[in-house]
Chains A and B, each alone.
Chain A
């Protein structure tokens, strides 16, 4: 019986657990998709992330996890590394300056329909002698390139703590726990946690956003008119349902 899992084996296990959890049905929280549906972006510009954690490496590491899940939702995602370098060449190497910039001007510069701003709120590992608790927290905001309106927001927190298994031998368990906590402290599992957070954030139906033009689900997964929170509460009858016409962009 292994009591602590080697580093190399932990990440796949985390992902497997995430995959299984992902299958559980989640009632989507009520979100207003009316602006998203009116904008119907085809492309998403992912700009460097703002870091509010104390880990200086977090923003570039985290940036590398963003393009794949967003593109897999069916959107054109601009080349993140190239975008980062181009912004740096334009004197915008500070991500907070990029986030303060006007969304419409940013999108105009790159020819993007929308821009995704992500802020890292937490990226830390707390060592507590017998265990290490790893926490990541992100805030996502998608803004429209034409109007600057916020089309979608989400906040995700993920926590990982090595499990303590009991073997009946108190001392052995204690040693195993200390070793496992030290291993996690030395190399915290930020990346699988970050990937889980992104996957959970963009999932739809769920807290994410409807599929983009390159997904086979495009136009088939639109929210029910009732979830367009901007609409007035339904009157007694059926009411006129504002059918979101698939306007699309030219």
Chain B
């Protein structure tokens, strides 16, 4: 009946805190996803998918990918043995966030070292699946 009034009221309540509701970054549920992963480690794939979505959405919208997210995603790929793509995301973190450079340089070196040890056949999605599902 008084739906417009209700909506108005609700927006007043929300805008009253507007300065606190605005966020610098679009996190895309990163914290909930990390919590779910720690709660159910067997659902790691969901966590990795969420990281990928956060990255893609921010890139598509021309927004900054939140701090640490390129690196988290790169590290997830690193854990799956996808060293080439991992290096790519570590470099993106390095580029976007100068504060990350010392750590990213180390991770890039690690990933490249691991990648050079690895037989070519094991790289790519096949190797990832083999390691991703114990």
CA distance A23 to B99 in the complex (A): 32
Query: Scoring B residues 19 to 53 as 1 if CB is less than 8 Å from chain A, else 0, what string do you get?
Result: 01101110100111011011100000000000000
Cβ contact within 8 Å between A68 and B31:
yes
| Chain A residues positioned under 8 Å from B21 (CB to CB) | 19
Cβ contact within 8 Å between B17 and A78:
no
Select the stretch in A57-65, A156-164, A178-186, A230-238 that faces chain B: A57-65
Cβ contact within 8 Å between A111 and B13:
no
- Say yes or no: is B130 at the interface (Cβ < 8 Å to chain A): no
Cβ contact within 8 Å between B69 and A79:
yes
Query: Scoring A residues 59 to 87 as 1 if CB is less than 8 Å from chain B, else 0, what string do you get?
Result: 01101110110011011111111100100
| Chain A residues positioned under 8 Å from B92 (CB to CB) | none
Q: How far is the CB of B20 from chain A (nearest CB, A)?
A: 6
Cβ contact within 8 Å between B25 and A72:
yes
Q: Nearest residue in A to B97 (C-beta to C-beta)? A: A76
Q: How far is the CB of A70 from chain B (nearest CB, A)?
A: 9
- Say yes or no: is B125 at the interface (Cβ < 8 Å to chain A): no
Cβ contact within 8 Å between B102 and A111:
yes
From B75, B101, B103, name the one whose CB has the most chain A CB atoms within 10 angstroms: B103
Cβ contact within 8 Å between A82 and B75:
yes
Q: Contacts A60-B38, A67-B31, A81-B72; is A22 near B97 (CB within 8 Å)?
A: no
| Chain B residues positioned under 8 Å from A60 (CB to CB) | 38
**The one of A71, A81, A110, A191 that contacts B103, using a Cβ cutoff of 8 Å:** A110
Cβ contact within 8 Å between B99 and A113:
yes
| Chain A residues positioned under 8 Å from B72 (CB to CB) | 79, 81-82
**The one of A79, A85, A215 that contacts B24, using a Cβ cutoff of 8 Å:** A215
A-side interface residues, number (CB < 8 Å) = 33
CA distance A82 to B35 in the complex (A): 14
| Chain A residues positioned under 8 Å from B31 (CB to CB) | 64-65, 67-68
- Say yes or no: is A127 at the interface (Cβ < 8 Å to chain B): no
| Chain A residues positioned under 8 Å from B35 (CB to CB) | 61, 64-65, 191
- Say yes or no: is A25 at the interface (Cβ < 8 Å to chain B): no
Cβ contact within 8 Å between B16 and A79:
no
Cβ contact within 8 Å between B38 and A61:
yes
From B24, B32, B68, B101, name the one whose CB has the most chain A CB atoms within 10 angstroms: B68
- Say yes or no: is B55 at the interface (Cβ < 8 Å to chain A): no
Q: How far is the CB of A34 from chain B (nearest CB, A)?
A: 23
- Say yes or no: is A9 at the interface (Cβ < 8 Å to chain B): no
Q: List A residues 90-127 near B (Cβ within 8 Å).
A: 110-113
CA distance A67 to B102 in the complex (A): 19
- Say yes or no: is B100 at the interface (Cβ < 8 Å to chain A): yes
- Say yes or no: is B111 at the interface (Cβ < 8 Å to chain A): no
Cβ contact within 8 Å between B67 and A77:
yes
| Chain A residues positioned under 8 Å from B67 (CB to CB) | 67, 71, 75-77, 214
- Say yes or no: is B108 at the interface (Cβ < 8 Å to chain A): no
CA distance A20 to B14 in the complex (A): 9
B residues whose Cβ falls under 8 Å from a Cβ of A: 13, 16-17, 20-21, 23-25, 27, 30-32, 34-35, 37-39, 66-69, 71-72, 75, 79, 93, 97, 99-103, 107
10 residue pairs from A and B, CB less than 8 Å apart: A20-B13, A23-B17, A57-B39, A65-B31, A71-B68, A72-B23, A76-B99, A79-B71, A79-B75, A85-B79
